[in-house]
A = this chain, B = another copy of it.
Amino acid sequence: MEKITIELLAQKLNLSKSTISRAFRDSFDINPKTKQRILEAAKELDFEPNPIAKSLREKKTQRIGVIIPSFTIPFYAQAICGIQEIASKEGYSLLICQSDESYEAEMQNVKSLLNSRVDGIIMSLTTETTQYKHILQLHKKDIPVVLFNRVIDIPNTSKVLVDDYDSSYKMTEYLISRGYKNIIYIAGPKNLMLASTRLKGFRNAMYVGKIELSEDSIFYGDFSIESGFKCAEEILRKVKPDAIFCSCDNVAFGVIKYLKKRGVSVPGDIAVAGYTDEPFAALIDPALTTIRQPIHEIGETAAQLLIKKLKYPYSKPEVKVLPTELIIREST
């Protein structure tokens, strides 16, 4: 099969390459009739300009790199859907990498995306990430970056967050209103902004609710089911709570799993609340009380922010905070 190019099309239509090229861009510098003639011929021959050649010439790839901790965390699967939707609408394709919760891998990913010449990067950090040389390096190379969800405080960088303080506060307030007094909080990794913000929301709600809070009531985990399982074990060994507020659904799943194993009734003996509203939160028994984040929208927003920056390189970095919703189910 003869490979068809702009040059060939030009010959067939007795025009020059440049004119053909113009027809395929938003150039108004072309006779509408000629343009139409070209577009029709192209459709007939099933021709589309070679994006590789275009990339080489323009030094733009129309490709966005995405770095997430893992595909298999449903939150990220959904977020990617949101990113994808906006990206493909705007003519960008996605190059997705997993950091697998390793800072090392995260840096490696940045490098490989850079080598793949992506136009910009959207990322959610690992639980290990505390430094941000790799992000600054991107700034220096003029590759726009948008951080979402798992974010650390890097100056001059766009971010998409949810209102973690508020939602954590709301949940705590709700738990208190249900009469729970001995509330344990399982916090996330200390390096992440979301973890400290959520913890702050919890603390303040306890303070306002006039419930004394000992530091022994705060445990730390990461975002895994196993971590929840282990925390629950530790909690039962040390204290006798009537409620456990986990700063992540997965952790809540792990906690419930352990409590069930030990024959502790949820919410009869101990209430459990989560954060994220993963798809399975509603399915599990008892259905999990949690905070719903607009996951899809988070992805969309991140993509929008990045593309905006790509189109207008001099626009200022933005921080978007999206609202959350308290979802009350059976576990509390």
Contacts and interface: CB of A to CB of B under 8 A. Distances in A.
Contacts of A70: 81
Contact of A52 (B55, B78, B141): B55
Contacts of A280: 280, 283-284
A181 to B, nearest CB: 28
A257 interface: yes
B84 A80 contact: no
A280 B88 CA distance: 31
A115 B81 contact: no
Interface string A54-74: 011000010000000011101
A9 interface: no
A44 B315 CA distance: 33
Contacts of A116: 51, 93
Contacts of A56: 50, 52-53, 56
A140 interface: yes
Given A93-B116, A96-B94, A72 B279 contact: yes
A327 interface: no
B253 A283 contact: yes
Interface string A149-191: 0000000000000000000000000000000000000000000
A48 B117 CA distance: 11
A327 B71 CA distance: 24
A95 B94 contact: yes
Given A52-B61, A225-B283, A285-B285, 17 more contacts: A1-B140, A51-B115, A52-B52, A52-B56, A71-B71, A71-B80, A71-B81, A72-B77, A72-B279, A84-B98, A93-B95, A95-B95, A96-B96, A260-B285, A280-B280, A284-B284, A284-B285
